Structure 1
């Protein structure tokens, strides 16, 4: 695929529809428009990557803004993968996390080989001391 320009990193939220479409295209679980419209504005920090007006990558930090933070929604459009955009997104997020109150607890769930990416930015497994769990609704 021929990409017209160098993707632009922005510190802004994506539109709900673009967010939902990129999640699915990148292999993340689908979410509802109601959930996206309620949840996106409550983000602590957001990174989006655009090629023109097309959303091609994103990542968010959610949490209480002081003690607890979770990195979520790291996604890159498949046709843009392998170009360092995931690393650029996590670098921007790590820069934000370096400004939050200390001590604080920052967590994420690494799917598949993504653990190698997150490890480059200081994230370490919590096992065996802790175990990640979830309740899908």
Structure 2
């Protein structure tokens, strides 16, 4: 894939791939984006269960610099997760290109009536695709397995 067809919105020097990154790249990208690391075992188990995923690499060298994926049951619920761009590559349209790819996949593959959600720790990014805060109608809740 050349820079000219690297993907809509991507600057020269990057390529969007329709797959998840390797386990090592996944863990590195989460850390480099300031997100919580996941154990190797958790990532090895989880990545194969991705419904649809993309990652962005530098065309020279093939280093993964961004990733995003969808998990869910493939019919009624789709959860966007692990959207991360390594901090030196942020602000270049990589996150937008990955979200565009995920939304395009959902439009083509998710049935009418399916629910799409995500958890976000950034303001003003996901709204451009129509995502809205659900509180107070609903609220996110979670627990780490060590606390169960």
Give TM-score, length-normalised by structure 1.
Answer: 0.92
Among 88, 109, 124, which residue is 2:119 paired with?
A: 109
Mapped pair 1:130 → 2:138: yes
Q: Deviations over 1:35-79 (max 9, x none)?
A: 111100100000100003100000000011111110000000111
After the TM superposition, which parts of structure 1 deviate over 4 Å for at least 4 consecutive aligned residues?
Answer: none
Aligned length: 131
2 CA distance for matches of 1:133 and 1:79? Answer: 31
CA RMSD of aligned residues (A): 1.0
Instruction: Give the SS at the match of 1:83.
Output: coil
Counterpart-to-counterpart distance in 2, 1:72 and 1:112: 13
TM-score using structure 2 length: 0.85
Deviation at 1:133, TM superposition (A): 1.0
Alignment of 1:20-31 (within 5 A): 20-31=27-38
SS in 2 for 1:23: helix
Is it true that 1:64 corresponds to 2:73 in the alignment? Answer: yes
Q: What is aligned with 1:9? A: 16
- Give unpaired runs (5+ residues) of structure 1: none
The residue that corresponds to 1:95 in the other structure is 104
